[in-house]
Chain A
Amino acid sequence: MQATQSQASPLSLMDARTRAQRRRLREIRQFLLALLFLIPSLIVFVVFVFYPVAKSIYLSAYLTDPLGRPSVFVGTELYTELLKDKYFLNSVWVSFKLALLVVPALLVVALGLAVLANRQLRGIGVFRLIFASTISISTAIASTIFLLMFSAQTGTLNYLLGLVGIKAVPWLLDPGSAPAAVAITTIWSSIGFNFIVLLSGMQGIPEELYESAALDGAHGWTLFRHITIPLLSPTLFFVSVVSTLGVLQAFTQIYILTKGGPSDSTYSLVYSIYEEAFLRFQFGSASAQAMVLFVVMLALTVLQFQVLERRVHYE
């Protein structure tokens, strides 16, 4: 500060110009310096994020030859064809069906666990750790475990159902139950994350609110209904959007449990992209499908921001 002031005292045109030049030089030097620190990240992002996005858009306008190279320019034809392709439409439906099976149930379970674990009790830390534990387990391992448990004749789940007198469920072998099996696996492996986010949301609710409501005679369900839920609603909304995005991207559990079957009942959007690109080498139409998924996810994200923003404005 002092240095610039002492420079500024003799105000001639020459000085002003050199000062401007000096400032410009300084700016360039700062920019190059910053660039030096940023360049490792920027290289990775350009090569593995931005270039691929552009290439995906490019690929989605071409038919691909058997070697996976773009061959014939078709413009937006791959997109219009997708909208008529019953396999693609089925995979969109499967993905949304999975989201419907997973998200509401997941939210209820995770919320219940968070309410339970939010009480101040001796040893509550152990229970919190148990409820959070599935975050450390990969979808691949979780799916392998459930594959064993879902086995129709020899699986643990049908054995347990048998103990309480329920008939064995064909789980992964039947188009009716396979989506449920995939959903159960997804719910189990997502509980940890959702529990953690909801619990930390709950811990952000000021204790005084509960105390003053309790003075007014409110307790139990009333407190939950009129304090916890309204104050937690941004978090609840947030985890439901994140979970929906997660389920729309589900791949590993489907690859391990069902390979899209039986009768395409679990042939989800991302599984379809995988087979189209890496088993049939139709990079063009696979890219078009990926772009459709991108647009859907972007729309959901924008919706999330708008709703959250509105809450901030009106409260």
Chain B
Amino acid sequence: MKTTTPSQVISYTLLVLCSIVLLFPLWVTLSTSLVPSSDAMRPPANLFPLNFYPQNYEDVFRQVPIARFLFNSFVQSGIVTLGQILTASLAAYAFAFIPFKGRNLVFFIFLATLMIPWEVTIIPNYQTIRQLRWTDTFQGLTAPFLATAFGTFLLRQSFMTIPRELYDAAVMDGAGHVRYLSTVVLPLSRPALGTLGVYSFVNSWNQFFWPLLVTNEKTMRTVQIGIAMLQSEESTQWNIVMAGAVLALLPTFILLLVGQKQLIRGLTAGALKG
């Protein structure tokens, strides 16, 4: 076994120092969520939870409809994720397996949606949702995000690697397009589907502007809006707010831990496209 070299010692020291600095805001969040309110705004008391007070996590459920916020976020992100996977796999199938006239044009239409920033569409979209009387509904929260050009391109890329012979064999067995898609193409594209799923769930969970616009009732707020509103109300109890913040960031944080590869692949692919 080799002994550690001085250059390795330097590397580890720098790595640890950078980690401490980067993680510091998260440490403040966690430790503030574990102290009584008297300590919450009093550094260093809120940096080291010596007066350990996990009661905050019970209180946040009692004082704030956080369970409802989390539920709303789960439903919203679940609908968007499943919806995007469904519409994107259908569209990607057409691009990858059905030769048709005007494919380039349709491809360009998909591409164009990536060039348009949300600021340009948000006012008319808000008006559309209001006209449909979809404010404070899950339809309103999710409808504009049920299709994704990025996801379509990602899946198309993966579909194209499936050997043509499989298609011929499936047709010989009398399978139609829908059955071929669901029994052969999708199972073979699990890695790409995972990437798209994790990526769209995280993006959807972390949305702010749109849910802010289309929800007014407290019971329809997503957890992001719920926490942000919590801190703007008078007499902010930071220990409670931070307990809420921990609960809000936990799902995507866990998703990062278990789906690290998928998320990173999605982000880098999305970046190269966007």
Chain A residues proximal to chain B, CB less than 8 Å: 27, 30-31, 33-34, 37-38, 40-45, 47-53, 55-56, 59, 68, 112-113, 116-117, 119, 121, 124, 127, 129-149, 151, 154-156, 159-160, 188, 191, 193, 196-197, 200, 238-239, 242, 249, 251-252, 255-256, 270, 273-274, 277-278, 283, 286-287, 290-291, 293-294, 297-298, 301
Q: Nearest residue in B to A54 (C-beta to C-beta)?
A: B124
Partner among B87, B123, B202, B268 whose Cβ is within 8 Å of the Cβ of A200: B268
B213: chain A residues within 8 A (beta carbon): 278
Q: Nearest residue in A to B28 (C-beta to C-beta)?
A: A156
Q: Please state if B120 and A290 are interface contacts (CB–CB under 8 Å).
A: yes
Binds A, one of B17-25, B165-173, B189-197: B17-25
Q: Please state if B42 and A136 are interface contacts (CB–CB under 8 Å).
A: no
Q: Nearest residue in A to B246 (C-beta to C-beta)?
A: A141
Partner among B44, B208, B242 whose Cβ is within 8 Å of the Cβ of A251: B208
> Nearest Cβ distance between residue A145 and chain B, in whole angstroms?
5
Partner among A45, A48, A143 whose Cβ is within 8 Å of the Cβ of B110: A45
> Nearest Cβ distance between residue B227 and chain A, in whole angstroms?
6
Q: Please state if A138 and B147 are interface contacts (CB–CB under 8 Å).
A: no
A116: chain B residues within 8 A (beta carbon): 11, 14-15, 18
Q: Please state if B121 and A131 are interface contacts (CB–CB under 8 Å).
A: no
Q: Please state if A48 and B125 are interface contacts (CB–CB under 8 Å).
A: yes
B141 contacts A by Cβ under 8 Å: no
B22: chain A residues within 8 A (beta carbon): 130-131, 133-134, 188, 191
Q: Please state if B228 and A256 are interface contacts (CB–CB under 8 Å).
A: yes
B252 contacts A by Cβ under 8 Å: yes
Q: Please state if A286 and B91 are interface contacts (CB–CB under 8 Å).
A: no
Partner among B12, B43, B207, B232 whose Cβ is within 8 Å of the Cβ of A121: B12
B174 contacts A by Cβ under 8 Å: no
Partner among B94, B124, B205, B272 whose Cβ is within 8 Å of the Cβ of A138: B205
A30: chain B residues within 8 A (beta carbon): 98-101
Task: Indicate whether A131 sits within 8 Å of B146 (C-beta atoms), given known contacts A136-B249, A159-B43, A242-B274.
Answer: no
B43: chain A residues within 8 A (beta carbon): 154-156, 159-160
Q: Please state if A130 and B90 are interface contacts (CB–CB under 8 Å).
A: no
Complex: how many Å from CA A170 to CA B242? 22
Complex: how many Å from CA A127 to CA B23? 11
> Nearest Cβ distance between residue B62 and chain A, in whole angstroms?
20
B224: chain A residues within 8 A (beta carbon): 138, 140-141
Count the A-B residue pairs with Cβ separation under 8 angstroms: how many? 252
Q: Please state if A283 and B123 are interface contacts (CB–CB under 8 Å).
A: yes
Complex: how many Å from CA A127 to CA B11? 11
Contact with A along B111-136 (1 / 0, CB 8 A): 00101111111111111100000000
Q: Please state if B121 and A252 are interface contacts (CB–CB under 8 Å).
A: no
Q: Please state if B90 and A52 are interface contacts (CB–CB under 8 Å).
A: no
Complex: how many Å from CA A112 to CA B248? 30
Complex: how many Å from CA A278 to CA B11? 50
Partner among A33, A56, A134, A273 whose Cβ is within 8 Å of the Cβ of B124: A56
Q: Please state if B264 and A137 are interface contacts (CB–CB under 8 Å).
A: no
> Nearest Cβ distance between residue B152 and chain A, in whole angstroms?
7
B177 contacts A by Cβ under 8 Å: yes
Chain B residues proximal to chain A, CB less than 8 Å: 8, 11-12, 14-15, 18-19, 22-23, 25-26, 28-29, 32, 41-44, 46-47, 86-88, 90-91, 93-94, 98-103, 106, 109-110, 113, 115-128, 143-144, 146-149, 152, 177, 202, 205-209, 212-213, 224-225, 227-228, 231-232, 238, 241-242, 245, 248-249, 252-253, 255-257, 260, 263-264, 267-268, 271-272, 274
Q: Please state if A38 and B117 are interface contacts (CB–CB under 8 Å).
A: no
Task: Indicate whether A40 sits within 8 Å of B29 (C-beta atoms), given known contacts A45-B147, A48-B125, A136-B202.
Answer: no
Task: Indicate whether A40 sits within 8 Å of B147 (C-beta atoms), given known contacts A116-B14, A196-B267, A294-B117.
Answer: yes
> Nearest Cβ distance between residue A210 and chain B, in whole angstroms?
15
Q: Nearest residue in B to A127 (C-beta to C-beta)?
A: B15
Q: Please state if A277 and B253 are interface contacts (CB–CB under 8 Å).
A: no
B121: chain A residues within 8 A (beta carbon): 48-49, 52-53, 56
Q: Please state if B255 and A136 are interface contacts (CB–CB under 8 Å).
A: yes
Partner among A41, A119, A147, A196 whose Cβ is within 8 Å of the Cβ of B268: A196
Complex: how many Å from CA A193 to CA B264? 9
> Nearest Cβ distance between residue A189 and chain B, in whole angstroms?
9
Q: Please state if A140 and B208 are interface contacts (CB–CB under 8 Å).
A: yes
Q: Nearest residue in B to A276 (C-beta to C-beta)?
A: B123
Complex: how many Å from CA A297 to CA B117? 8
Task: Indicate whether A144 sits within 8 Å of B227 (C-beta atoms), given known contacts A132-B256, A197-B271.
Answer: yes
A56: chain B residues within 8 A (beta carbon): 120-121, 123-124
Q: Please state if A41 and B88 are interface contacts (CB–CB under 8 Å).
A: yes
Q: Please state if A142 and B25 are interface contacts (CB–CB under 8 Å).
A: yes
Complex: how many Å from CA A197 to CA B271? 8
B47: chain A residues within 8 A (beta carbon): 156
A45: chain B residues within 8 A (beta carbon): 109-110, 113, 147, 149
Q: Nearest residue in B to A259 (C-beta to C-beta)?
A: B232
Task: Indicate whether A286 sits within 8 Å of B123 (C-beta atoms), given known contacts A38-B91, A141-B245, A147-B231.
Answer: yes
A298: chain B residues within 8 A (beta carbon): 115
Q: Please state if A290 and B110 are interface contacts (CB–CB under 8 Å).
A: no
B128: chain A residues within 8 A (beta carbon): 47-48, 52
Could you name 22 residue pairs across A and B whose Cβ atoms are closer than 8 Å?
A40-B86, A40-B90, A41-B149, A41-B152, A42-B106, A42-B147, A52-B121, A59-B123, A68-B127, A116-B14, A119-B11, A121-B12, A131-B22, A140-B206, A149-B25, A154-B41, A251-B208, A255-B212, A256-B228, A290-B123, A293-B117, A294-B117
